[in-house]
Amino acid sequence: MDKVTGNKAVIASGANFKGQIKNTPSIEINGTVEADINAEKLAIGEGGKFVGAANVELVVISGHYDGNMEAGSIWATATAEISGKIQYKTIQLDRGAALNCRFIHNWKQEKITSKKNDYLVSKKEGPKKDGIDIESHKTLEEPTEANKKNKRNTEISERAKAGESVPKSVTHSLEAKTENDDGFKLFADWAKKAPEEDQKLRGKGLGIFKFGFRAAKLPDS
């Protein structure tokens, strides 16, 4: 019997459950369930009804759902009836799916901010493969460039320590690097100031916008 059933939880059609469900990797609901579910996979079969909060990675809805759902990917088939609030990353709707709910595309904000701020940390850990990072081209390239320069510098200084004759052009580049550092500082200072200037510009922009707004409204009235 155990081999037939596998490790998938099922609420059969005609069954009615009300309560708490914990520790379910995968659940199929063909009956009626009132519960909160935290799972990897959730399937609401045709004729199935599920009411309650759900935090699930993969959801297939062919029946009725009502509640607050946070899902990775959702597939609502033609017989789906959904109400409540759905937060999703990807969704597929078949023709005929009845939706009466609020949909929110839940691109996890923590991921984006973390990539902006701790690119130095992520560099140590190696490139993050999961998820799509818009910033990768900008943020990840700079540090690698700097890395290359640093590597070269350390190589040169090691060679100098070992007493090898270092060509002038190379030492020159070493000096140039320190100058470059100053330039970097200047840039950093400018970057700090930049937001203030931005604010001023924004103020101006607002004035123009106000004017435009009124002008646009006059002909209508």
Size of the site for another protein (CB under 8 A): 28
Q: Which is nearer to another protein, 23 or 165 (CB)?
A: 23
Q: Which is nearer to another protein, 3 or 193 (CB)?
A: 3
Shortest Å distance, C-beta 59 to another protein: 18
Give the three-state DSSP class for 42: strand
Shortest Å distance, C-beta 79 to another protein: 18
Q: What's the start-to-end Cα distance of the chain, in Å? A: 76
Task: Give the footprint of another protein on residues 3-62 (CB under 8 A).
Answer: 4-26, 30-31, 35
The amino acid at 129: K
Shortest Å distance, C-beta 130 to another protein: 26
Question: What does the per-residue mask of binding to another protein show for 115-144, with x meaning CB under 8 A?
Answer: ------------------------------
Neighbours of 140 (CB within 10 A): 16
Q: Which is nearer to another protein, 22 or 137 (CB)?
A: 22
Neighbours of 49 (CB within 10 A): 19
Shortest Å distance, C-beta 39 to another protein: 10
The 10 Å CB-count burial string (b at 16+, else e) for 7-31 is eebbbeeeeeeeeebeebebbbbbb
- Site for another protein contains 2 (CB under 8 A): yes
- Site for another protein contains 100 (CB under 8 A): no
The amino acid at 107: W
One DSSP character per residue, 100-140 reads: EEEEEE---HHHHHHHHH-HHHHHHH----SS--TTHHHHH
Give residues in contact with another protein (CB under 8 A).
Answer: 1-2, 4-26, 30-31, 35
